[in-house]
Structure 1
Amino acid sequence: MPPTPAPAVILFDGVCNLCHGFVQFVIRHDAAGRFRFAALQSAAGRALLAAHGAPPPAPDPESVLLLLNGRLYSHSGAVLRIARELGWPWRLAAAGWVLPRAWRDGLYRFVARHRYRWFGRQENCLLPTPALQARFL
């Protein structure tokens, strides 16, 4: 029997309301429970970054990161791969791959720069409910 693949890990800005909403979206649509989550500001998030040779997060991290099959993805690449892993109909977002990476990442960075102003932020990392605790590192 082939080994079960390791869960994919989404690293996100734990104080960002937009990021929190994105995590909630993934949880609702990830029926298989393929994804685990870690705030970039958490000890688990920092340890995962260090283990993959990535620098520690900035005070206001600008990207959702995806750790999938031992590889770390960022910016639009992370979001598109997450959508692909969620399956139908979210897999349709893969059409975004036809756009040049510079355009996709430019749009991603524009939203990231303004996300606190548009969506707000928390003073502390948001904590998962007891029912979801097992999916957070």
Structure 2
Amino acid sequence: MSHWPDDDVILYDGVCVFCSRWVRFVAKRDVERRFRFTAIQSAYGARLAQTFGIDPNDPDTNAVVHGGVAYLKSDAALTVLGMLPGWRWTRVLFAVPKPLRDAVYSLVAKNRYRIFGKYDECFVPDAEMRARVME
């Protein structure tokens, strides 16, 4: 785990349809407006990714910085879900061994473009969400 000065930032692949839907899913349910978002294709997102050892040109994970610590793969997804109202029950999934959780995560991540599709360029958030995007 790496440290980062900004907190509650979700790093995602901005051209990935599934990843962009994940961001919209989180934004809609994040009633406290705690999370901010950055596409790995942005300058800020690329710096964040490189700090965590993620290749900005071939990302294999999303990440979330929470409490100054970066969480990757299934830890990232469960950390975010566990903080959303109505989704806190997902914290029990941390009991599943990390190698198993990450294997499932990696399988989806590896095939995300083929299964869900890919945008030609980063998706553009609506005006309300744009205030939560870090570039």
1:11 aligns with 2:11: yes
Per-residue CA deviations over 1:103-123 (Å, capped at 9, x if unaligned) read 000000001111111100011
Look up the SS of the partner of 2:82 in the other structure. helix
Distance 1:79 1:56 in 2: 16
Q: Give the TM-score of the pair, scaled to structure 1.
A: 0.88
Query: 1-side partners of 2:97 and 2:29: how far apart?
Result: 27
Identity %: 36
Structure having the higher Rg:
1
Q: Name the counterpart of 2:62.
A: 64
Q: Give the distance between the partners of 2:12 and 2:49, measured in 1 at CA.
A: 12
Q: Shift of the alpha carbon at 1:74?
A: 0.2
Equivalence for 2:3: none
Deviations 1:66-116 (A, max 9, x none): 0112111000000000011113x2011111111110000000000111111
Instruction: Give how far 1:44 is off.
Output: 1.1
Q: What CA distance in whole angstroms lies between the structure 1 residues aligned with 2:115 and 2:43?
A: 28
**In 1, are the aligned partners of 2:46 and 2:56 still within 8 Å (CA)?**
no
Letter in 2 for 1:81: T
Q: Gapped runs of 5+ residues in structure 1?
A: 1-5
In structure 2, the residue matched to 1:3 is none
Partners of 2:78 and 2:40 in 1: how far apart?
Answer: 19
Paired residues, number: 129
- The answer to whether the 8 Å contact 1:7/1:34 transfers is no
Please give the residue correspondences for 1:56-135 in structure 2 after superposition, counting only pairs within 5 Å. Answer: 57-87=55-85, 89-135=86-132
Distance between the aligned counterparts of 2:36 and 2:22, measured in 1?
A: 13
Tell me the alpha carbon deviations over residues 5-30 of structure 1, each in whole angstroms, 9 at most, x when there is no partner: x6400000000000011001001100
TM-aligned CA deviation for residue 56 of structure 1 = 5.0
Alpha-carbon distance in 2 for matches of 1:33, 1:124: 25
AA in 2 matched with 1:124:
E
TM score, norm. by length of structure 2: 0.89
> Segments of 4+ in structure 1 off by > 4 A?
none
Letter in 2 for 1:97: F
| Unpaired stretches in structure 2, ≥5 consecutive residues | 1-5
